[in-house]
Amino acid sequence: MDSRNEKEMAHDLRKRARQLENEIDLKLVSFSKLGTNYSHHRDDINNSDTSPLLSASNSEHMFDTMAMEIEQLLAKLTEINDKMSEYTNSISMSSPSSALLHTLQRHRDILQDYNQEFQKTKANITACREREELLGSVRRDIDAYKSSSGGLNRRSELYLKENEHIRNADRVADETIDVALATKENLREQRNTMKKISTGMNNLANRYPLMNSLIQRINIRKRRDSLVIGGVIAVCLILLLLYAFR
């Protein structure tokens, strides 16, 4: 009875881990798109004198909320992985299972990839926010100077041109980042497809151990046949060389 309960608990842990992984993956896609659109949103706000400050605060609030949600999901997935690790260690002491160890390691790798991707995306968005705030501060200083002086002199005109050059260069960099993010999205979809295929093959092998054993026997027989063929070829070559040098 205890063994049955333990198996049900292990199945439930794996099911919850897969659900959290799917949810985190969707959140990370949305989080990455938020980072792509953030700089364009700030550009529109800076270019419009009548844009409300509430739009910027809403965008920043969305970033903070989504980051907090992803952190909570990652913490839950870490807890599930720790429980699976405890269960695997307790089972391995009595009857080691390579399938359980492989499944646990796969979930750990997925969690590590999600953590790295989240931290990288978060750092990129934070850097973008700081850069846009700096440019906005410069623009506000210029506007304040224009209001106080009542007009532009030569120095402020050059300053504005230089700021415009910076913004153009920044926009080109944003477009390059967009292309890189799109490429990253395609690679992630390919990676998810490969993960699903790998998971399906592992589940199939675990569900049908006889099939796994049959595949191993076939591979062993193929290697043995290759060795036999190689030996026959080698003997033939030696006989040909002996015949040629007689």
pLDDT tens-digit map of 35-45 = 776 655 555 54
Considering only residues 201 and 120, tell me which one the structure prediction assigns the higher pLDDT.
Answer: 120
Are the C-beta atoms of 185 and 33 separated by less than 8 Å?
no
Considering only residues 20 and 35, tell me which one the structure prediction assigns the higher pLDDT.
Answer: 20
| Mean pLDDT along residues 192-200 | 77
What does the alpha-carbon distance between residue 84 and residue 7 come to, in Å, rounded to a whole number? Answer: 11
pLDDT value, residue 170: 79
pLDDT > 70 fraction of the chain, expressed in percent and rounded: 73
Helices marked H in 150-208: 154-207
- Radius of gyration over alpha carbons of the chain, in Å? 30
Considering only residues 17 and 41, tell me which one the structure prediction assigns the higher pLDDT.
Answer: 17
- DSSP conformational letter for 107: H
Confidence grade of residue 19 (pLDDT, cut at 50, 70, 90)? very high
Are the C-beta atoms of 15 and 84 separated by less than 8 Å?
no
pTM beyond 0.85, yes or no: no
Which residues make Cβ contacts (< 8 Å) with residue 24, sequence separation at least 6?
Answer: 70, 73, 74, 77, 114
CA atoms within 13 A on the CB side of 175: 6
pLDDT value, residue 219: 76
What does the alpha-carbon distance between residue 24 and residue 78 come to, in Å, rounded to a whole number? Answer: 12
Confidence grade of residue 53 (pLDDT, cut at 50, 70, 90)? very low
Q: Is the pLDDT of residue 233 over 60?
A: yes
Confidence grade of residue 86 (pLDDT, cut at 50, 70, 90)? confident
Averaged confidence pLDDT in the chain: 76
| Mean pLDDT along residues 193-219 | 71
What does the alpha-carbon distance between residue 112 and residue 107 come to, in Å, rounded to a whole number? Answer: 9
